[in-house]
Structure 1
């Protein structure tokens, strides 16, 4: 008898459940060559399924070569279908994976950098997408320019000048598949092995990985409540570039004041290098208007990186670089090698979304929502922990920093907290020089509703109070 488990509560077709389980057992060698599978009618009765479901699963296995049918004698496992693997690397079955995902559904995740996904303007976006598809020419569905569509770059350059104080010609814009690709392009464009990158510490771990993978050495410069300590930048050697999140330092949240911005630009001029400015979620500033970009002070020295992942949705995979004119042609060529071009239809839709004022409206709406969520999170933290915590870095963005007086968040502590079905992220994860931020957590609130925020802090409190 062939024992299979069918779970009708899963969002997976019954045919696929039968097919996947038999396929997995063949690949793992549990069902060996020559093994005769039960007759379709027999297996259907055993599993309480329609016979057609089993027949379709068998036909799929036959089409892919896992089994062979012998006229009048049944269906047998085909030879050569066993793939030997290291047991340590054996993946979970698709049913186990799905159950793990189901199990984590009630986990409250304070991950930063994710906007309120259920507030994405689906109807408006869908309407514009439909218009774009209906009105697009045949050529619009072909290959496009690596730097992005001309009309989108013109709309975007005007928008950035108005909202972020950026100064650029549309030809200086390169449309990317998100900020991550932008960082990879910069690394390929500006770094050589053995170069040194002057970088804030702490800073996003992913960015550290991208720049280090080019062979460059990271030179960490500490940050304080005002961002990068520009007075600590070494001047003995020209770096590949200086990396800074000037309008909202990640993760600690500082805003680089004009004095440090000027000092940074003067240093870049003196060393004949560039500044890479990551404009991390600075649209959502709650105490006054968004801070103007560093790029607007010296467009010849600053490479500006932006994305729509935090404003709209990570799934759009649209970001952009603004480069000094001397770098643009080489970057276009690199972009072509990376992926030819960013998605054209999404660029066309977003161009209309910006041009008709929908993006401004969406940002204003979301800013009000995030203000409420930020306030609730701060209130809950104070109610749960009182003077055991201090809160900072909350004037901009989708997260805040909470520092505990009596807790250090090492791996053991994080594992203990996860048992309470709440996920939190230590600042120390993003530190280059370890040991200075062990008591601090990054709590993202953009994609959590009020009830989830309250429950999440309650669970965190239960976890820490038990200690």
Structure 2
């Protein structure tokens, strides 16, 4: 007789529990092809459940091909339903228990406080949209995106970031990743050269390398890319940089270096690609203007709403020099026709009615409190062993620990203590310069998680020191 434990307190219906367990026993080979199962009457009596429960479970297994019914003979396990052991997935119960048992506090950067998404306002605007929208808006749209969103963005970017553009220069994308991917396809070919800050996020390196082009790294310091080190004999297609908040080290590029970059791009007849990924959250000093405002025909400006609002929206944008608009628009059309239209309309109203700037002001205060608390915890816990860098903007900072090498072994040990940190070295192109630095994202964490995470980190590293 089959041994099938029944959990009557579970939210999973009894027939589903019986189905799942028989299915798993067939997949992992505990019930073998040709083996006869107990009759529905026998199994219902054994498990003390209604016969209908067993009938429903057997019917589902028959429909999916796990079982075979032979008239007058009974129900048998079908041929070919066995998976090797390592292919069998964990049950839902096992996965949930594992998550609870091994709760990891992750200091991943770039994740906003998702629980503070402005749901009520978004729902109100969405409700208004669905009541007012004309049926023509349910059709295919233009690859460059909704005009009302591009108009709202042009006004917003000029007012807050000093971006000088016409709405026709903006193309709405499915996040900043798509914007960069299309830049790669537009500007790079095999054997071309792209200059990049070093370190810079590994994902961006991968995007540009996928074109077959060569990446030429330029080191950064506390102010961003070291423009004096850019070779004059190179002829790059573009220089990629994060001038308002260098990722990951946090430097802010001074005007002198910005002008050097503009002059370099003019001499070399190349472009500057500006990723302005979280410059809205600046805590020290006045806002920093965009690089694009210095030369709109040399700078491609990329932004998104993943950090400001939510990655789930998948809405980003790029501001293009005028002579690149049509080619980029065509690439966008070939990629996915257009970014989903209805969320664009809601976002346009969200910006135009002032909700975006109010939300940013609210989140800026929230993230600053988290940042200050993380700094306090690090200084209290690690004392003079920690140096804190890149904390003036964004949702992460850099912790440099004296005499510590964040090797794979140490990172694994830290994770075993229930905390996950991210080494700067993972994002470096030329390796070996940042082994004692880690990225600590704090935007998505609660204060108790920050405090506990820093304590666990210290315990793991301190034990390593001993």
1:58 deviates by 3.1
Q: Is the 8 A contact 1:227 1:246 kept in 2?
A: yes
CA distance in 2, matches of 1:463, 1:48: 50
Partner of 1:102: 100
Partner of 1:77: 77
Partner of 1:60: 60
Partner of 1:197: 194
CA distance in 2, matches of 1:275, 1:5: 63
More off after superposition, 400-409 vs 332-341: 332-341
CA distance in 1, matches of 2:282, 2:249: 15
Q: Is the 8 A contact 2:27 2:88 kept in 1?
A: no
CA distance in 2, matches of 1:277, 1:109: 28
1:312 aligns with 2:297: no
CA distance in 1, matches of 2:343, 2:46: 49
1:158 deviates by 1.1
1:424 deviates by 0.8
Q: Is the 8 A contact 1:198 1:242 kept in 2?
A: yes
Partner of 2:446: 449
Q: 1:226 aligns with which of 214, 217, 223?
A: 223
CA distance in 2, matches of 1:215, 1:267: 24
Q: 2:135 aligns with which of 122, 138, 160?
A: 138
CA distance in 1, matches of 2:147, 2:9: 48
1:103 deviates by 3.2
Which string of whole-angstrom CA distances, capped at 9 and with x for unpartnered residues, describes residues 162-210 of structure 1?
1111111111111111111111111111111121110011110111111
1:82 deviates by 4.2
Q: 1:399 to 1:12 in 2, by over 3 A?
A: farther
3-state DSSP class of the match of 1:68? strand
Partner of 1:242: 239
CA distance in 1, matches of 2:280, 2:10: 40
CA distance in 2, matches of 1:244, 1:370: 24
Q: 1:430 aligns with which of 423, 427, 430?
A: 427
CA distance in 2, matches of 1:377, 1:184: 34
3-state DSSP class of the match of 1:247? coil
1:176 aligns with 2:209: no
CA distance in 2, matches of 1:8, 1:305: 54
Which string of whole-angstrom CA distances, capped at 9 and with x for unpartnered residues, describes residues 75-120 of structure 1?
333334446x6x7x7353243444433334x321111100111111
3-state DSSP class of the match of 2:79? coil
1:314 deviates by 0.9
RMSD after superposition: 2.2
1:40 deviates by 4.0
Q: 1:72 to 1:222 in 2, by over 3 A?
A: same
Partner of 1:328: 325
Q: 1:223 to 1:6 in 2, by over 3 A?
A: farther
Q: TM-score, normalised by structure 1?
A: 0.93
1:290 deviates by 2.4
More off after superposition, 247-256 vs 141-150: 141-150
Partner of 2:339: 342
Q: 1:391 to 1:141 in 2, by over 3 A?
A: same
Q: 1:143 to 1:47 in 2, by over 3 A?
A: farther
Partner of 1:462: 459
Q: 1:387 to 1:47 in 2, by over 3 A?
A: farther
3-state DSSP class of the match of 1:337? helix
Unaligned 5+ segments in structure 1 are none
1:4 deviates by 4.8
Which string of whole-angstrom CA distances, capped at 9 and with x for unpartnered residues, describes residues 331-358 of structure 1?
1221122222112121111111111111
| Matched ranges for 1:282-321 at <5 A | 282-321=279-318
CA distance in 2, matches of 1:302, 1:48: 72
CA distance in 1, matches of 2:170, 2:371: 33
Partner of 1:419: 416
CA distance in 2, matches of 1:299, 1:8: 66
CA distance in 2, matches of 1:373, 1:71: 68
Which string of whole-angstrom CA distances, capped at 9 and with x for unpartnered residues, describes residues 23-43 of structure 1?
455455554432333434544
3-state DSSP class of the match of 1:403? strand
Q: Is the 8 A contact 2:28 2:88 kept in 1?
A: no
CA distance in 2, matches of 1:110, 1:9: 36
1:450 deviates by 1.1
CA distance in 1, matches of 2:138, 2:5: 44
Partner of 1:165: 162
1:34 aligns with 2:34: yes
3-state DSSP class of the match of 1:376? helix
Q: Is the 8 A contact 1:24 1:93 kept in 2?
A: no
Unaligned 5+ segments in structure 2 are none
3-state DSSP class of the match of 1:349? helix
CA distance in 2, matches of 1:186, 1:10: 51
Aligned residue pair count: 463
3-state DSSP class of the match of 1:466? helix
Which string of whole-angstrom CA distances, capped at 9 and with x for unpartnered residues, describes residues 217-276 of structure 1?
111110000000111112223212110001000000000111111111111111111111
Q: TM-score, normalised by structure 2?
A: 0.93
